A and B are shown apart, each in its own frame.
Chain A
Amino acid sequence: QSALTQPASVSGSPGQSITISCTGTSSDVGSYDLVSWYQQHPGKAPKLMIYEGSKRPSGVSNRFSGSKSGYTTSLTISGLQAEDEADYYCSSYAGDSAGYVFGTGTKVTVL
């Protein structure tokens, strides 16, 4: 059970859009629609931003959107704001015997 692959860092200027990729395998992202994205600010617990690939929980800004194609899922943040600076993790279900696998994490920097 290997971690999903994310870029270590992504940056953008305020108002721009950025996309974070998350690549898995046929055993996780490729087989299940149970892909989630989490935002984590320093010293804080992660916060669910996207679930089931593209759904937003109540209270999450519509500037955050998710998509999936094959073994890769992506998180797009549009209209980048200073408060979006944080670490982002993807996660996928990988079956009852493996449970969940998280991505390696991406640090988003707002320039």
Chain B
Amino acid sequence: QVQLQESGPGLVKPSGTLSLTCAVSGGSISSSNWWSWVRQPPGKGLEWIGEIYHSGSTKSNPSLKSRVTISVDKSKNQFSLKLSSVTAADTAVYYCARDTTGIDPWGQGTLVTVSS
């Protein structure tokens, strides 16, 4: 049973870069799935950020595309998210997840706060 776990700093300064990693266990990141990032600002709805295939192919939300970098490390069975030039509007719970024909399963999520 595939499980995902996000990790990374919980506090990022404005104009800095948010960096998160998602460790995949119970399955291979090289399987025929895409691997996604989704975020949820406090009290608000879900927003799809982007996803990556084990080959390195990526797709990103057009509204975030210029600031998003998603990468994969097959040797560590994990994938990562970098979001640059962050502002308070990027404060959210960030989830990593597997995308098959639906997004499932999801990690537990990690809160990232953008503040000085």
Whole-angstrom distance between the alpha carbons of A99 and B103 in the complex? 12
Cβ B63 vs Cβ A1 within 8 A: yes
Q: Which residues of the partner chain A approach B107 to less than 8 Å between Cβ atoms? A: 45
Cβ A102 vs Cβ B48 within 8 A: yes
Cβ-based interface call for A3 (8 A): yes
Whole-angstrom distance between the alpha carbons of A98 and B65 in the complex? 10
Cβ A36 vs Cβ B60 within 8 A: no
Whole-angstrom distance between the alpha carbons of A98 and B46 in the complex? 15
Give the bracket for the number of chain B residues in contact with chain A: 20 to 34
Q: Which residues of the partner chain B approach A100 to less than 8 Å between Cβ atoms? A: 36, 48, 103
Chain B residues within 8 Å of A, Cβ to Cβ: 36, 38, 45-48, 50-51, 59-63, 95, 100-109
List 21 contacting pairs A-B, 8 Å CB cutoff, sorted by A. A1-B61, A36-B102, A36-B103, A38-B46, A45-B95, A45-B106, A45-B108, A45-B109, A46-B103, A46-B106, A48-B104, A48-B105, A57-B102, A89-B45, A89-B46, A91-B46, A99-B51, A100-B48, A102-B45, A102-B46, A102-B48
Chain A residues within 8 Å of B, Cβ to Cβ: 1, 3, 34, 36, 38, 45-48, 50-52, 55, 57, 89, 91, 96-105
Given contacts A1-B62, A89-B45, A97-B59, 11 further A-B contacts (CB under 8 A): A1-B63, A47-B104, A48-B103, A48-B105, A51-B104, A57-B104, A91-B48, A97-B62, A100-B36, A101-B48, A102-B38
